[in-house]
Amino acid sequence: MTGTPERRPLVHRRTLLGGGLIALGTAAVPPLAGTAVAATGAPSAGAPTDALADEWPTPPNGHPEWRNNIGIFEVNSEPPHATFMPYADLQQALAGDRTDSPYRLGLDGTWRFQHVDRPDDRDPDFHRTDVDDSSWDTIPVPSNWQLHGYDFPIYVNIAYPWWGASGQSEAPLPPEVPTRFNPVGQYRRTFQLPAGWQGRRVHIHFEGVKAGFYVWVNGTRVGYREGSYTPAEFDITDHVRAGTNLVAVEVFRFPDGDWMENQDMIRLSGIFRSVYLYSLPTVHLRDFTLGTRLRDNYTNADLAVTAQIRNSGAQRSGTYTVETQLYDAERRPAWSGTLRLTADIGSAPPGQDITARASRSVPGPRLWSAEHPELYTAVLRLRDPSGAVVQTVSARVGFREFALRDGLIRINGRPVSLRGVNRHEIDADRGAALTREDLVRDIRAMKRLNINAVRTAHYPNNPVWYELADEYGLYVMDEANLETHGVMRDYPASRTDWTAPVIDRAAAMVHRDKNHPSVVIWSLGNEAGAGGNFVTMRNWIRAADPTRIIQYQGDNRPEVSDLRVEGYESPAQVEARASASDRRPYVMHEYAHSMGNSTGNLKEYWDVIRSHPVLQGGFIWDFADEALRWPIPSGGGRTYLSYGGDWGDRPDFAGNFCGNGILDAERRPAGKAVEVKQIYQAVNVSAGADVTAGVIRIANEYLFTNVNEFTGDWALVADGQVVQRGTLTAAQLDVPPLSSRTVALPIRRPAAPAPGAEHFLRLSFTLRSATPWAEAGFEVAKQQLPVDFDSPPIVPTPVTQVPTLTVSDSGGTITVRGTDVTVTISRSTGLMTSYEALGTRLVSSGPVPNFWRAPNDNDRGNGHPTRNATWRSAGANRTVTGVDVRRLSDRAVRVTVRGTLPTSTASQYTTTYTVYGNGEIRVANTLRPGSSSLPYIPEVGTILFLPSALERMHYYGRGPEENHWDRHTGSDVGVYSSTVSDQWTSYLRPQENGNKTDIRWVALVDAQGRGLLAYGEGLLEVNASHFTPEDLSAETRHEYQLSPRPEVVLRLNHRQMGVGGNDTWGAHTLDAYKLFPDREYAYAYRLRPLLAVQDAMALSRRPVSET
């Protein structure tokens, strides 16, 4: 461009780190170049391949920047700075849409692309302007190239991706990198420089590139950058021209900087966040910091502005002024005038910042919190010495204090409870190249699950995420892109050659995100060991930003971390932390490892947290499964959710160790999410002194929200039917933050409750009006309380009132017949081989004694399939030792089956059938473990096989989502209707799923509502599926590889052990949710024909008695 100064000296390593810039979104993209760029000044065919070759010396060790040069992490890049975009006027600045500016040109879209697996095979001249790229492939930007057919994703946890079979076992130690498999992607595209940018500085901005990359503009190499998850920006003013320009980018998959990016996740590559150009005046506001100090007991504030002004042109003089005005949500100015800062532009040489500071009082601001994310907008205008506005920028402002006060973490003075989750940035279809819609989808899901905090595990997130967190209300633990898990004992440790790149990663994050009110904690990284570099890192951040909390679990010394931070401790261990001598607040940076069918005992964690103020919550691992949608081999275009090991990679852990979400990869909620929402809710209700008179206690755990901001409704439910309902009054809902209130609801005691009737009081709290994350009427909290109205006991049907039976015993088969009912029992197996009524087969075979559940991921991780294997086939391989037939009367026959189980110490079981003349069968089961030294029992129950026609399922118990003994707090008791197929809960790897607890009765019926009714003498657990536990116990990797049985597999259980939830690499289910072998187990249920599903409740209350 004309009117620009001479090229700046090349900067080869940055150790003094300043402020930073990033902007968002995309705009219209100029047409794709299909031929070489023909422009004046383009190098000829004989010109050097790099126009800067003579200016860009090779590093001293003779290797390029990307290889064996851990201290060279950038060349010629701009210093980091806060998120902003120059706008044309005040209205654009107030709107804050960074894609809507005449000074921004988006480069997202289609680029030319070529790819090689080895650096030595790449085209060294790809960037030249005389290269014809019309035959190249094309690729969308942003994207990950592995999702477009180039090399393959790799999943590893601790190992580096090039160590094992995923690579070629190269580069065992830093800073060397692989060379035999180290893919390189080369990108090209053209753009038209806007005519209005003449005389302005032009920067190219990359929001995220994985992992190290060079940039050329019009054939000239302009820079290099590492650090995949923070921006890379280059001043290309000297290299662009009016009209058509060419940009070329060369991306290395495994540069030496990747030694610091060994996060447990699916490894993908490429330009995965937005790319754009933007322009600035020659003298410009390069960076700014907004401070929001609260005072006067949090009633007033000061807005402090620190501005860095830079002259990027020739030496000049004069006073430049930065004017700041604060606007509220209605765009009304907060002050009658502006806050003014001045800078003598001649007081520093060109290319250096001039810093100016000033502050102004803001009386009575509306404070920001995750509950009430009140935002203002600060508009900053830079005026030149003549008074003309040359630059206008803006940023959202949230007035809040998040700090350690009186030994606790407090937001605006009140102790916070972090109901958090970890989140990787990944989508099943787009990999790491998330769209704004993807980010909105995720934050809406979090808010709807009562999540109030997120850890950006394990790197700074897409810049849009922080804008949304500001707007929607989330407390963000912002984590530096630093993890060296595989070598963390020795790197970075206290190695001085690693200090500069470590600080660079901290600085890039802090400067980019410092103005976001949602960012409340800085995290130094994850699983990168300990040592002096973390003290230095912490001290740098504290000096740059003294307002925020700093944490790091890997080096938890007070000189590094303001908090005690640990992960995956049991609830008992967490409780012990409350009385430890170290009185720093305790936060779990990771807990409740939610891999597969997990997240058990979450209630136990929060019972402890709620009991001890110093325990201030934690972040569940994690939010959503990492998986990629992939074509099924020979699947005719069908796809599946793939994970580690599916792409030709060789994971160092179980390949599905990336699937730890409370939501699946498609963000579908199931039982885990339901439990999290319930446990994390901030309005809870308990029974008062007399709940039968409607006395309840409402506890409000919100910090700034009165319960009266919600609508409160109650309903009295009898056997699944609402019999009374009402709305809480304004006075009843007036429960201030951090308080509780006892209220009495106008419940009328039922005059004559039906025999056996159960009553529950359900409270529901819903949004009065719509929010960005939910519609009006959305339920934010609920509670179900049992209410005992002393319902009379059920009245059994006397056996004398049922029809008579006949029994025959011959040929190894016992046959019991009654009016329209036939039951056959095999003497050799002890099972029913048929149960028919009214011309319909209800049971094909069973009940098979069963003591096994398909292992879930927690089971696999703790050795359960081997340790507890004695129970796996114990029921299937039982030995029947005796069958007795006894006629109790002419209307009842009892068949008792006794047998042994081949456990390592033989165990005994009995199954007793009592068949009544109306077709009802009482099935009583006992288990006598052979020794208390046997392993605990995965499940105590039976399996029945039903005809496929009985596909419709109705039940009275906890639901509707899957729930388990240690994970059912969020699942209310009710009457639910579904299908057997819909009981299936998908996990990345098939495993135990679909369980239901506290079941009173279950009906499996056909399309006409006729079928089988089963109900317990006491509460049952039930699982209806098209798979047996054994079907799901094989090493099947994916659902599409399973073949469902046509018949219905019905498990009627005393109980299944809990799913567990502490971790997935050794922790067992808590003892409270185990079935130990030191006792006898006895339970009974009844089976009977069902002519109409609406009769199920009544029939379950009329069992046949023996007299």
Q: Report the CATH number that the domain containing residue 587 is assigned in CATH.
A: 3.20.20.80
pLDDT of residue 4: 35
H or E stretch at 437: helix 436-448
Whether residues 522 and 458 share a domain: the answer is yes
Q: Could you tell me how far CA 37 lies from the centroid of its own chain?
A: 45
Tell me which DSSP letter residue 526 carries.
S
Given 527, 701, 920, 962, the catalytic residue = 527
At which residue do the structure tokens 């008695």 appear?
A: 1105
Neighbours of 31 (CB within 10 A): 12
What single letter denotes the amino acid at residue 109?
A: G
pLDDT of residue 165: 86
Torsion of CA 418, 419, 422, 423, to 10 degrees: -120
By CB atoms closer than 10 A (0-12, 13-18, 19+), residue 807 is middle
Whether residues 975 and 1088 share a domain: the answer is yes
Beta strands 892-901; 806-810: pairing state: unpaired
At which residue do the structure tokens 């590889």 appear?
A: 1041
Whether residues 382 and 489 share a domain: the answer is no
Is 52 a member of any domain? no
Q: Report the CATH number that the domain containing residue 755 is assigned in CATH.
A: 2.60.40.10
Q: Smallest Cα–Cα separation from 221: which of 54, 107, 351, 109? A: 54
The residues near 352 (Cβ < 8 Å, ≥ 6 apart) are 310
- Per DSSP (E only), the strands in 906-988 are 907-916, 921-928, 939-946, 952-959, 972-979
Q: Smallest Cα–Cα separation from 379: which of 365, 397, 363, 367? A: 397
Question: Are the C-beta atoms of 650 and 583 separated by less than 8 Å?
Answer: no
Neighbours of 180 (CB within 10 A): 14
Tell me whether residue 527 is one of the annotated catalytic residues.
Answer: yes
Question: Are the C-beta atoms of 587 and 618 separated by less than 8 Å?
Answer: yes
Whether residues 276 and 289 share a domain: the answer is no
SS3 399: strand
pLDDT of residue 817: 96
pTM for this structure? Answer: 0.94
pLDDT of residue 167: 87
pLDDT of residue 382: 98
Q: Smallest Cα–Cα separation from 220: which of 192, 201, 248? A: 248
Q: How far, in Å, CA of 689 to CA of 926, rounded?
A: 39
Select from 675, 699, 721 the last residue of a domain: 675
pLDDT of residue 1102: 97
Q: Smallest Cα–Cα separation from 165: which of 504, 650, 501, 626? A: 650
pLDDT tens, residue by residue, 528-546: 999 999 999 999 999 999 9
pLDDT tens, residue by residue, 931-970: 999 999 999 999 999 999 999 999 999 999 999 999 999 9
* Averaged pLDDT score across all residues of the chain: 94
Q: How far, in Å, CA of 422 to CA of 553, rounded?
A: 14
Is 869 a member of any domain? yes
Whether pLDDT at 23 is above 70:
no
- Per DSSP (E only), the strands in 412-556 are 414-415, 418-422, 453-455, 475-479, 519-523, 549-551
pLDDT of residue 24: 25
Whether residues 880 and 1000 share a domain: the answer is yes
pLDDT of residue 838: 83
Question: Are the C-beta atoms of 426 and 155 separated by less than 8 Å?
Answer: no
pLDDT tens, residue by residue, 392-446: 999 999 999 999 999 999 999 999 999 999 999 999 999 999 999 999 999 999 9
The residues near 388 (Cβ < 8 Å, ≥ 6 apart) are none
Whether pLDDT at 1007 is above 60:
yes
* Average pLDDT, integer, range 118-125: 98
Whether residues 388 and 516 share a domain: the answer is no
Q: How far, in Å, CA of 626 to CA of 928, rounded?
A: 43
pLDDT of residue 51: 45
Select from 280, 307, 341 the last residue of a domain: 280
Q: Report the CATH number that the domain containing residue 198 is assigned in CATH.
A: 2.60.120.260
Is 542 a member of any domain? yes
Read off the pLDDT band of 665 (50, 70, 90).
Answer: very high
* Average pLDDT, integer, range 503-510: 98
Given 590, 939, 961, 1021, the catalytic residue = 590
pLDDT tens, residue by residue, 86-105: 999 999 999 999 999 999 99
Whether residues 930 and 991 share a domain: the answer is yes
Q: How far, in Å, CA of 35 to CA of 31, rounded?
A: 12
pLDDT of residue 152: 98
Is 42 a member of any domain? no
Is 466 a member of any domain? yes
Question: Are the C-beta atoms of 514 and 545 separated by less than 8 Å?
Answer: yes
**Count of structural domains within the chain:** 5
Whether residues 958 and 1088 share a domain: the answer is yes
Whether residues 168 and 116 share a domain: the answer is yes
What single letter denotes the amino acid at residue 866?
A: T
Is 12 a member of any domain? no
pLDDT tens, residue by residue, 1075-1103: 999 999 999 999 999 999 999 999 999 99
The domain in which residue 1084 lies consists of 799-1100
Whether pLDDT at 178 is above 70:
yes
Which token pair is 92?
A: 């654009």
Question: Are the C-beta atoms of 456 and 477 separated by less than 8 Å?
Answer: yes
Q: Report the CATH number that the domain containing residue 994 is assigned in CATH.
A: 2.70.98.10
Whether residues 820 and 737 share a domain: the answer is no
Beta strands 201-206; 921-928: pairing state: unpaired
Cis peptide before 960 (omega within 30 of 0): yes
SS3 671: helix
Which token pair is 21?
A: 């810039």
Read off the pLDDT band of 1106 (50, 70, 90).
Answer: confident
Which token pair is 214?
A: 């060079």
Question: Could you tell me the maximum CA-CA distance found in the chain, to the nearest angstrom?
Answer: 113
pLDDT of residue 33: 33
* Average pLDDT, integer, range 445-452: 98
Q: Smallest Cα–Cα separation from 732: which of 747, 719, 744, 750? A: 744
* Average pLDDT, integer, range 145-172: 95
Whether residues 481 and 580 share a domain: the answer is yes
Read off the pLDDT band of 18 (50, 70, 90).
Answer: very low
Rg (CA), the chain: 34
Whether residues 379 and 447 share a domain: the answer is no
Q: Smallest Cα–Cα separation from 531: which of 590, 477, 488? A: 488
Phi first, then psi: give them for residue 603, nearest 5 degrees: -60, -40
pLDDT tens, residue by residue, 584-634: 999 999 999 999 999 999 999 999 999 999 999 999 999 999 999 999 999
Is 217 a member of any domain? yes
Instruction: Give 85-146 as a DSSP string.
Output: ---SSHHHHHHT-TTS-TTEEE--EEEEEEEESSGGGS-TTTT-TT---TTSEEEEES--GG
Is 17 a member of any domain? no
Tell me which DSSP letter residue 78 carries.
P
Whether pLDDT at 15 is above 80:
no
Select from 632, 649, 675 the last residue of a domain: 675
Q: Which residue has the higher pLDDT, 352 or 27?
A: 352
Whether pLDDT at 875 is above 80:
yes
* Average pLDDT, integer, range 700-713: 98
